[in-house]
Structure 1
Amino acid sequence: MQDTLSPEGPPAATAAALPEITLDELSPELQAACGRAGWTSLVPAQAKAIPYLLADRDVMIQSRTGSGKTGAYLLPIMKKIDLHKNVAQALVLVPTRELALQVSREAQMLCEGTQLRTAVVYGGVGYNTQLEAFKNGAQLVVGTPGRILDHLLKNTLTLDHLKMLIFDEADRMLSMGFYPDMVRIRKYIPTARIASSMFSATFPPQVVRLAGQFLKEPELLSLSGNEVHIAESEHIYYVVPGMRKDRSLVRIIEIENPASAIIFCNTKDAVHYLSVVLKRFGYDADELSSDLAQTAREKVMARVRRGALRFLVATDVAARGIDIPDLSHVFQYEPPEDPEAYIHRAGRTGRMGSSGVVISLVAEMERFKLQSIARYYGIAMEERPLPSDEELERVVTERVTALLESRLRSRDNLQVERMQRFKALARTLAQSEDELAIVAMLLDDYYQLTLHTPPEQPAAETREESAPPRVPAKRPNRRAHSRSRKEKNFQP
């Protein structure tokens, strides 16, 4: 009997979990690699995940940054690669240049003194260094989907001998707009059995469907707690000045880039104000409160039901009874006045076994109330610093670059020929400091258009078509059964 999980329903049966592994149980080669990295033991993420990857079992692994997940897949890759073959045997797809470089550095540290060669591949830079790495026989390729696809289209990279395929931060790859490129990459993956794993901080339905397209009968693990269990939603909060909450929310939305979200406010005035702010920033947002006329409410509801509205700003009362499919994010512009409301708000995402992200914005004095709710309900909440200007610029730059490169790849010969008329002008604008404002304006206009079009996601499959992941057995979770009693007795 095996446990199954899909966006359409909860687990149905049970799959046996593999036992954890210790450093002493690794092969001498892998123990030596751990020694080069200064590891005296395996962290929980590695101890749980490595047995599955060594056994060639396809897995979806919930893991957050800093969990040790990179080592969890690099060590099995080292074990599986045949050093006598100078061809690409393992492919690690990542969402950003920074993560590609980070994974590459860790791989080089673990593989120091061995014959394993690594190529790191990402857009926005020249091709020569990457081509040289391929010519030198790189067996491990780490890169962003867009540039990987470029090399596949040009036949400078082949995956004919691929043994392992890793998706690192799959949720971020979807939010960056890489899904169309990933679909095209799939055509170059051999039809023979490939061991595939997907690492993601959360598993909303879109990521589950992505796994169904690349992984075969995947098992679902979580590396967030002390046991292997069904993925739960991620709870994050930011402490922000009350007068800057609107700008702070926009900054966080820019980083997260959710396909759709509900933003909860405590009052009708706050709902109206925030919906206006989001619209002025270029976002596809609308409001729902008791002040809304019936015809206007029906129009908003129709967009919600069609999945045609990206951001719904609402009060708790107005949002009752609304079910938005595939909702990946819930934002709380203000912490709820009633602690029980936090559970109801958070429950809008992560339904039926999938997981999502719940983000709260709190003023300094509101932090303690939120922390009291977290302690009482046993919710692990992570406080994060507000994204800096530099971080925001980097994320937006990588996102726009990925979108533009993808759009360029989709142009036919006639469109490419037509583009030549503007090459001289583009060169002039790029070289003139005075004209940079024009280039920035064009990029901003293009980016604003993308705010109304969420990144393309894997489409929902029918129940017959889907191949849901299996979930290893776990102990029953009694927390949900005790909530009703706790909610009545809560004291912040």
Structure 2
Amino acid sequence: MQSLSSAVWTNWTQLARRACRARHLHSSISRHSFKGPRDTVTSHPHPDEYSFERLRLKPDVLAALRLAFPSIKHPTPIQHRFIDAVLKGKDVLLKDSTGTGKSFALALALLSKGRGPPYKKDDGSRTLPITSLLLVPHRDLAYQLYHWIERIHHHMTRRESLPSLAQVLVRDSSATLEEHLAPIRKAAPHILIGTPQMVYDVVQADPHALPLDRLSTIVVDEADYLIPSVPVIPDKFLMMKIERQVNRHPGPTRLLLNQIYSATSARRNRRRDDRKRLPQLVMMSATLRNHLKRFLLADSGWFTQEPGKLVRITGDASAYYPRDLKNSSAENHATFALGGTGIQHHVLVVSEQGNVANIEGAAKRSEPTPEEESKPSPGSSSAPAQLPSHSVAPDVEEIDEPSPFNADVMEAIAASFALDVPSVALLVLPADAPVQRAVYDLRLLGVNARPLDVVKDENGKTHLMRRDFGATAENPTLLVSTLASTRGLDLPELSHVFILGVLDGAAVDSYMHVAGRVGRFGRGGKVISVVPAPYVVVLKNGHRKKVDEPRLMWTMFKKMNIKPVRFEHFD
């Protein structure tokens, strides 16, 4: 156990920069090359049959792909199957690990789909229809997809205007509904990317602005998050209660799909000719639980019942990683499900006295590599030990209110970041936590912390596109977001994800999606959860309740067959 007031804080700014310059990247992070939103593992080239040329991508899209993302040479087997099924007009239910190229493959497929003929509007004018509607859980993911399309569009030779190709429809508190609709009315996009609530609000306000009967493809990304379903649990009364809640509040995604596909028994048994007039349905996620799949395939009435027209694709980790790992243990396969082959999971426990230690029972690390042995140790500086200066950074506005965050936990995150992160890391907060306040507290500790915003922040957009993964930064960046705004994002340069506390009641799916932000496409990385030691809270009725977050972490890890590893700086 090591106090945060020890030599960890020695000459804070110099120590942070020395740690980052010395590290470069952990050898497990650089074991595989990755040079784009989705790239192949160069040490294991794909067979010749997995090529973009063999797919039915439009020649203009294929040529632009080569120019926009020159390092992407081949699709993965999953990407190949996925693109092929989408372009053949089949319904698709896709479940694959985080970081394996689902969203990027989807963008290529939708760009290559044909657009329907113009139709006459009520006012007598003719317009092209919106071909594809892509529903995503939050605006940052919407803009990630949009930025990929924007980059490909830039390299197209015979290109239409970008608003005619793709637009984003997400809530902006500074704009009215009419202002949101104006670009769509001016030029209906080939691909419309939006959040379900915003799309539903538009349909309710003006059905003619977004004619659902003209769509040819509907995609639901992160389907398990957007479509509430009833889990199978031993408590039947609780199941009935959840079912009543879902029926009362089905959510905008279910309401939209019910409106489009009319989930009645008559429509579920529709004739094949009727099905041709209904849009293709694509659903995808890294976690699709059996109860949701049963609902989608048997009860929803959304998927086609025509034989051979529904494709179910499930990822196989062995298709992406070295052959000597294909027959590895269940623990390794759980790691595959979290995106990479070299992911290390750490849990740091912070006591009431501010001491930091690895969670009890964490495994010892493997032998250090020469690169790791050469890095400075936490107490290597000869300067006197001191805490970081708690003066406000020049560009941070003073906040007088007390912080809602545990100061010792934030200091542990700041220390771990300074000592181990070479360039860019992500801190994920609970869904209701104030991001701006967390950024403020971290910047007081000398951390270059910034809220993750890929819409208004140009640097946020840059993090989606940057490909210089081996570089170290003079002043590393810690992006800060919440659980709700992180899901599905692809930030390929991330080497570390920090998690504040236990997310979402220790839900396995939530941890998997957050941890999947590192290890994109087989690369390595570290997931570091920082939790307080067990403590007691007093409830409103006066009763006392013990909160044991380290125990919750162990329970969650056991469900995933993962054992945490000791974080070397706090051995």
State the TM bucket, normalised to the shorter chain. 0.3 to 0.5
Which protein shows a greater Rg?
Answer: 2
Q: Which has the higher helix share?
A: 1
TM-score (norm 2): 0.41
* Higher-RCO chain (CA-CA 8 Å, sequence separation at least 6): 2
Normalising to structure 1: TM-score of the pair? 0.47
